[in-house]
Structure 1
Amino acid sequence: MIDPSQRILFDDQIYLDANSIQKTFVYEWKESECKINITFSQEDHLAISLPKAPYAGFNIEGSLSQTAMDKMTTDLKEKLSKRGIQKAIVRQRPEFEPTPEFQIIHDGLVRHKFSYTKEANQFVFLGQDFEQNLHPMQLRKIKKCQQEQLIFSKEDPSKIQEVHSFLTSCRNQQGLEINIDNQSLKQLFLKLPRSYECYTVRNCEQKILAATILVLVNDQILYNYLPGFDRVYKSLSPLSYLLFQLYHDLRDRNYEIFDLGISSIDGELQNGLFTYKKRMGAEQSDRFIYEINLK
C-alpha cells in the first residue's frame, strides 16, 4: 500500500541544494487534523513547484475535505500574490493508487481557476507478479538476451562518465540532446550517493548496450530518470532486459513502485513509447501540471 503522505526526495532540501534550486520557500497550511505543504522556487514573478525535478507539488498529512481545500487554495493565492508572484506552476506528483485526497486537490485547484495539462505517466507495481503482465513478444526478447549472455550490472559511480557518454550517444541517435551534462551528473552521485544509482547491460566484450540512471524517490518509489539503449541493437532489445532485471532487483529490495515516467509531451501521447512501456507491464497513472495567473 502506497503512503501518499510520505515525503519525496524532490522537495527535500538536500535535493534542492544538490541541483542548485535557489530562492525556494515553503507554503504551509494546517486546519484540524489536516496539514498541507508545498515547496516553490521563485524567479522574478514566477513560482514553480519545482524546476529541475520531475514532480513535487502538495504534500498532505491527514484527511482533506473540499471545504479545507477551498480555504487552503484561497490562502495560497493570497500568500503568493503578496510575494509579488504573478504566475504559479505546480507539477503535482503522480497518483499511483487512487485516494480521495488527489481528487480533492484536483477539483479544488480547478474551482479556483487553475488550468492544467494531464501527462500520461506509467509505472510498474513491484509487489505483484509483474511477469504475467509482460507481453509475450517482450518475454521472447528477454529470453534472447539471456541466450546471448548479456550482463546486467549495478555500476560504480566511477563509471558515470562512461555511462553519460553512452546515454549522450543514445540521445544523438534520436536527434535529441541529453538534459544533463557529465559534470552535473557526477555531482548528483557525489552529493546524493544514497539517492542515485546507475545500471547497465553489457555484452561479453563489455560494450554497453543499454543503461539507466535511477532516483530513489522515497522508501517505496524509484524513478527511471535517464534510460537509453544503442539502436544498433534494437532488434535484441537490451533495454527490455535491463528493465526486467531491475524489476527483480528492486522487488527483492522491497520497493513497491518503479516509476517509468511520462509517455506524453504537453499532454500529447507518444504512442510508441506508451505501447512499449505497456508491453513491459506498466500501468497508467496521471501526472497533472497546474498553472494559474495571479496578476
Structure 2
Amino acid sequence: MNSTIGTAQLLAFSTNEAQYVVRCGQGSEPTLPLAFESFLYMQPAHLSLQRSAGRHLAFYLENEARAQTVAQLHVFIDADINMLAYSPYQAPFGGIQMAPGVPAAALKSLMLAVHSTLEEVGVRRLRIRAYPFAYDPAGSALMTQVLSQLGYKVTLAELNNHLPLDQDFEARLHPSERRRLAKCRRHGFHFEQEPLFFLPKAYEFLRRCREEKGQHLSLSEERLTQLFRVFPNNHFLFSVRDSAGEWAALTVAIQVNERVLYNFYPASPLIYNAFSPVVLLNEGLHAFGRASGLALLDLGTSTLPTGLNQSLLQFKRHLGGILSLKLTLEWEAA
C-alpha cells in the first residue's frame, strides 16, 4: 500500500472462497454497501465525533462477487504519540466488525494490510479494544484467533455481563434482588423514560452519584448532549422515581445496533441503598429492549482503574447476568 493515504488505496487478493479487496482511506466511508448493520460506534457520524487530533484511517474488506463490504476496522493515530494507534479513540469499543462467514485468511490479509499501512506512516503499535464476545460470539472468536496468530497480546481481559431479552427478567434474579424489587414496588417506586430537556439536571445527578463513590464520568456534559442530539434514536434517558417523584436511580442507555441495548451510565444515590432501585431500573430497561425487538441488555464490565470491582460484579451476577469476555489486544511491529 502507498503511504499517501488521503485518498483510498486498494489491495486485491484471493482466498479459496472468493476475491477480496482491502480499501483504506483517511476518514472515508465504505464504497460498497455493508453486509451487516454497523455498530453505532463504527458509523461515520459517530467516528467523526471521536475527537482525535491525529488521523483516522478506515479499512474495509470488500467481497467483489457479492459487491459488499464484509468487514471494517477504524484506526486513530495518536497525534502526541505518533507511534501508537487505537481502535477506538473515544468509544466503548472498536475492533473488526464483520459479516458472518468471512474466512480467516481474508481477515488475516486485511490485518496485514493494516499493519503495512501503519508502518509506512511510522506507527509501530496498534491497540484494539474489542466488543464483548456476546455481541458476536463467532466473529469475536475469529477476530481473536487471527489477531493472536499475527502476534497480538491480550493486555486486558475484562468480564462483561449481559441479560438475554428472550427470558423473563424476574426469573433470573437472585432471591435477595427479587426482594428488593418487591420492596421498591411496595413503596411506590416506578420506572420512567425521561424527556431530553432533563439532560442537564440528569448529568448533575449522575456526576454527584459518581462523586459519592469516588469516581468520575468519562464524558463531559457537552459531549453527552452532543451524542443525544446527533443520535436521538440511539440514546435514551431512563429513571426510577420514588413515591414523591424524586429520582432514586437514573441511567443513559444506548442502542448499539439492532440487537443490543447498553446500560451505559447507571447511578443511584447512596441514601437509596436500602431499596436498590437499580434493580427496578434494569427491569425497565429489560422491558424496553424486549418491546423494541432487541436481543440482549448489555450491563457492561465491572472494571475500575484500580482493577476488578468485585461488589459490582456480584450485583450483576445477582441480576442474572451472563458473563462474556471483552478483550484489549495490542500489536507491536517487529
Residue type of the alignment partner of 2:146: G
The equivalent residue for 1:110 is 148
Give a deviation string over 1:15-47, Cα, whole Å, max 9, x none: 123443563121123467783220112223321
**Alignment partner of 1:142 out of 163, 181, 184:** 181
The equivalent residue for 2:13 is none
Moved more, 71-80 or 276-285: 71-80
- In structure 1, C-alpha distance between the alignment counterparts of 2:141 and 2:184, rounded to whole Å: 42
**Alignment partner of 1:229 out of 245, 268, 275:** 268
| Structure 1 residues 192 and 68: alpha-carbon distance in aligned structure 2, compared to 1, 3 A threshold | closer
Q: Is the 8 A contact 2:161 2:299 kept in 1?
A: yes
Q: After TM superposition, give the deviation of residue 265 of structure 1 in Å.
A: 4.4
SS at the partner of 1:229? coil
Residue type of the alignment partner of 2:180: K
| Structure 1 residues 146 and 40: alpha-carbon distance in aligned structure 2, compared to 1, 3 A threshold | same
The equivalent residue for 1:37 is 72
- In structure 2, C-alpha distance between the alignment counterparts of 1:97 and 1:216, rounded to whole Å: 12
- In structure 2, C-alpha distance between the alignment counterparts of 1:182 and 1:76, rounded to whole Å: 35
Q: Is the 8 A contact 1:88 1:291 kept in 2?
A: yes
The equivalent residue for 2:59 is 27
The equivalent residue for 1:8 is 39
Q: After TM superposition, give the deviation of residue 281 of structure 1 in Å.
A: 1.4
- In structure 1, C-alpha distance between the alignment counterparts of 2:201 and 2:105, rounded to whole Å: 53
Q: Which runs of 5+ in 1 are unaligned?
A: none
Give the TM-score normalised by the residue count of structure 1.
0.91
Q: After TM superposition, give the deviation of residue 181 of structure 1 in Å.
A: 2.1
Q: In the alignment, is residue 91 of structure 1 matched against residue 129 of structure 2?
A: yes
The equivalent residue for 1:215 is 254
Q: Which runs of 5+ in 2 are unaligned?
A: 1-34
Residue type of the alignment partner of 1:65: P
Percent identity at matched positions? 22
- In structure 2, C-alpha distance between the alignment counterparts of 1:205 and 1:130, rounded to whole Å: 26
| Structure 1 residues 210 and 121: alpha-carbon distance in aligned structure 2, compared to 1, 3 A threshold | same
Residue type of the alignment partner of 1:7: S
Residue type of the alignment partner of 2:75: F
Give a deviation string over 1:183-235, Cα, whole Å, max 9, x none: 22222212221111001111232221110001110111111111100111101
**Alignment partner of 1:71 out of 105, 109, 115:** 109
- In structure 1, C-alpha distance between the alignment counterparts of 2:147 and 2:304, rounded to whole Å: 22
Residue type of the alignment partner of 2:112: T
| Structure 1 residues 92 and 267: alpha-carbon distance in aligned structure 2, compared to 1, 3 A threshold | farther
The equivalent residue for 1:278 is 317
Q: After TM superposition, give the deviation of residue 168 of structure 1 in Å.
A: 0.6
Could you say which structure has the larger radius of gyration? Answer: 2
Give the TM-score normalised by the residue count of structure 2.
0.81
Moved more, 43-52 or 63-72: 63-72
Give a deviation string over 1:83-116, Cα, whole Å, max 9, x none: 3212111111112167444222212211211111
| Structure 1 residues 72 and 189: alpha-carbon distance in aligned structure 2, compared to 1, 3 A threshold | closer
Correspondence list, 1:72-221, <5 A? 72-96=110-134, 99-116=137-154, 117-221=156-260
